[in-house]
């Protein structure tokens, strides 16, 4: 794709990630000649703001991609499976934020800071990884370059934003109901139309996505399989536990890795400091470490609480936080598009 102004379609433009994509395209001055925001029939008659002007939303259909150069998809796997191939046939390159194509061996799964060299292998569609995977691999890839990782154990603390605008809205309504101390509404009540199986405010929910036959959830297995594909790992042991927490935005992760060779904490910190897209925030004695309140809205992934395991050989623990909507979705997609332009 040549460095020129492009006609860009955003599929799912009214969702939380779609809206963030529009902000990222604007703030990073991506060369958009024409913006085509696409959404479902429910959004007919609405508009989105882009570069200080309203842009009318168009209803997604078979003819939506004529003349489009780049299509950013964030409307769910079923929409992507139906419309992404149509966009490619119309001449567009697709960057898809859903799970539809991530594990297809013919489709690159890209985190630009980690495996941008794979972008050139695309055949019209490039997959954007799951948010938790993006946040983790950006943080651990610098260590993997020092010494190959042999094992990963991850526990994720995922914000309401992982369920989109509906998730954030449900948490906000639950918190507001708690603050009002209404006698007519039980304090343990779940928000109406919540995407979560239980009340989230004041609670933790140790299930994200559907349970698989092995007892792990689909979200947990995404982290396993996607990490291996992005980092080019052999089938090393990777285990994940994904938990929804009552935080509006930004996911946190406790990650333990075992490397082939012994590393000093100074080597690990230096590798993280010198890598793009990640910041070191590791002064726990001064209570300086990554937290969702600080990281929300930031482009980078933040890493702290770096420790050497007291008993396990070549094993290290890290605390990682990243904005799920931004780097975990919208920004990563636009960075992929930027790499396409750079050739």
The residues annotated as belonging to the active site are 131, 251
**Cβ(313)–Cβ(151) under 8 Å?**
no
Give one DSSP letter per residue of 251-285, joined into a string: EEEEEEEEESS---HHHHHHHHHTSTTEEE--BGG
- SS percent in the chain: helix, strand, coil, step 5: 35, 25, 40
Contacts of 143 (CB under 8 A, 6+ apart): 149, 257, 259, 263, 268, 271, 272, 316
Pairing of strands 93-96, 70-73: parallel
In angstroms, the CA 126 to CA 150 distance is: 27
CA atoms within 13 A on the CB side of 334: 25
In angstroms, the CA 227 to CA 38 distance is: 30
- Tokens in use for 39? 């959404």
**Cβ(149)–Cβ(274) under 8 Å?**
no
In angstroms, the CA 243 to CA 206 distance is: 4
**Cβ(88)–Cβ(124) under 8 Å?**
yes
């Amino acid at each position: 794709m040549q460095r020129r102004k492009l006609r860009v379609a955003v599929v799912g433009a009214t969702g939380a990630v779609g809206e963030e994509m529009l902000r990222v395209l604007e703030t990073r001055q991506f060369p958009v000649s024409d913006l085509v925001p696409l959404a479902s029939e429910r959004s007919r008659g609405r508009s989105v703001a882009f570069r200080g002007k309203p842009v009318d939303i168009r209803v997604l259909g078979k003819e939506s991609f004529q003349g489009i150069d780049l299509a950013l998809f964030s409307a769910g796997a079923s929409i992507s499976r139906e419309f992404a191939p149509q966009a490619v046939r119309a001449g567009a390159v697709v960057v898809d934020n859903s799970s539809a194509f991530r594990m297809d061996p013919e489709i690159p799964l890209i985190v630009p800071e980690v495996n941008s060299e794979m972008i050139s292998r695309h055949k019209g569609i490039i997959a954007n990884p799951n948010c938790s995977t993006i946040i983790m691999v950006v943080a651990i890839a610098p260590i993997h370059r020092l010494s190959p990782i042999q094992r990963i154990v991850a526990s994720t603390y995922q914000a309401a934003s992982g369920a989109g605008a509906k998730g954030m809205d449900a948490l906000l309504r639950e918190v507001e109901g708690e603050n009002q101390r209404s006698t007519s509404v039980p304090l343990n009540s779940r928000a109406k139309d919540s995407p979560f199986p239980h009340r989230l405010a004041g609670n933790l929910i140790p299930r994200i996505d559907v349970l698989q036959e092995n007892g792990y959830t689909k979200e947990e297995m995404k982290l396993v399989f996607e990490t291996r594909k992005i980092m080019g790992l052999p089938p090393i042991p990777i285990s994940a536990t994904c938990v929804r927490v009552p935080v509006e935005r930004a996911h946190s992760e406790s990650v333990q890795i075992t490397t082939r060779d012994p590393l000093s904490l100074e080597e690990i910190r230096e590798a993280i400091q010198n890598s793009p897209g990640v910041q070191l925030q590791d002064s726990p004695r001064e209570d300086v470490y990554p937290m969702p309140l600080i990281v929300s809205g930031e482009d980078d992934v933040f890493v702290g609480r770096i420790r050497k395991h007291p008993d396990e050989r070549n094993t290290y623990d890290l605390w990682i936080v990243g904005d799920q909507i931004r780097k975990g979705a919208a920004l990563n997609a636009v960075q992929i598009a930027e790499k396409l332009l750079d050739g």
